[in-house]
Structure 1
């Protein structure tokens, strides 16, 4: 199983190498300016163990997250791709540079490293091509999952399955897995060293 996962990750990495070279520099934002802009974000994302009220789940850890993914997520909340009134209000008035600055701040809060020595659940074969073997993504466009709260990951899965988020690949893979397999994956990713709660 481990050899299959390592081979899958290697092949995808090789295939995307030219694409990665062409991507925008994920460090193009100013992390110091981003820290100031992110002050409203830290009211929720800067408190370890903080939870939403309904439905109850942990607010996601963002420290060490891919900067480009932070930008993409905020753009989704600012538009109609992601449904969340509070996040929409925070993201709607941010311009492109401000988004990059915030992404650079959160991305610099921790170093998240790949680990090919771990063995994820068998159903993780569907995840490695984007999120890596241990939940550390192989491109800056996809989120790291390592260290993320399992209940937040489960809530994200629910949103994809119920149409509150849309992604062709995610919807296809998630619909191939049972609830038990999805829970197992979420718990595995939470157990891996990775994302942290950003410092206030």
Structure 2
């Protein structure tokens, strides 16, 4: 266990050092707003997307946004649409766009509701039972976020993303609070399946590969409610 925590500490130190590559350099927020005009169709006004599969960018740490835009640009993060957009951005464009989104206020999500089961052979679930099920899921997610699942070597999210999921700017670890649950579920699943790997020491894959589908859903819903 001590070796695992040592490895995590070294990873955090490496991430903090590497984030200096994206240190503030004459960021222009007004210019960033203009340059981000093409982002609105997917990421919404002021970086608050209306489509739950597209991430909110508002109030996201600048260092993380810069890191991801550079990753799309150099191909270390795969997404054809974002790669095409990032290729057209200069280093100064990336600095300005990241500063603009960091300056915006992230919107708060509504309390999630448990969906109906699509199986017609199963009896309908009452609204009261749905609420009980969602409360249980949120409680499970909160426990995972704060404490992890040490018997299964799943680290606590709080260690890197902060007590309120506010992120870690120096280490370029993203803010997660008030993010769409659907986007978080997809992202964690991509890390789990190895479809995304642009993070220090592939740490997120090492964590998520030990998480169940239910755990990913639970922690994603809980994070979406944090603010």
Stretches of structure 2 lacking an aligned partner (at least 5 in a row):
108-138, 148-155
Aligned residue among 42, 50, 53 for 2:40: 42
Residue 3 of structure 1 is matched in structure 2 by none
Preserved CA contact (<8 Å) 1:65 1:144: yes
Residue 83 of structure 2 corresponds to residue 88 of structure 1: yes
Residue 57 of structure 2 corresponds to residue 62 of structure 1: yes
Alpha-carbon deviation of 1:84? Answer: 1.3
Cα distance in 1 between the residues matched to 2:188 and 2:106? 25
Cα distance in 2 between the residues matched to 1:103 and 1:27? 11
Q: What SS does the aligned partner of 1:38 have?
A: helix
1:1-200 to structure 2, matched below 5 A, reads: 23=20, 25-26=23-24, 28-46=26-44, 50-51=50-51, 57-110=52-105, 121-124=142-145, 125=147, 126-140=156-170, 141-166=172-197, 167=199, 168-193=202-227
TM-score, reference length from structure 2 = 0.65
Stretches of structure 1 lacking an aligned partner (at least 5 in a row):
1-7, 52-56, 113-118, 194-200
Cα distance in 2 between the residues matched to 1:135 and 1:188? 10
TM-score, reference length from structure 1 = 0.73
Specify the structure having the higher radius of gyration (Cα).
2
Q: CA RMSD in A?
A: 2.7
Higher RCO (C-alpha 8 Å, min separation 6): 1
Cα distance in 2 between the residues matched to 1:62 and 1:42? 10
Equivalent pairs counted in the alignment come to 167
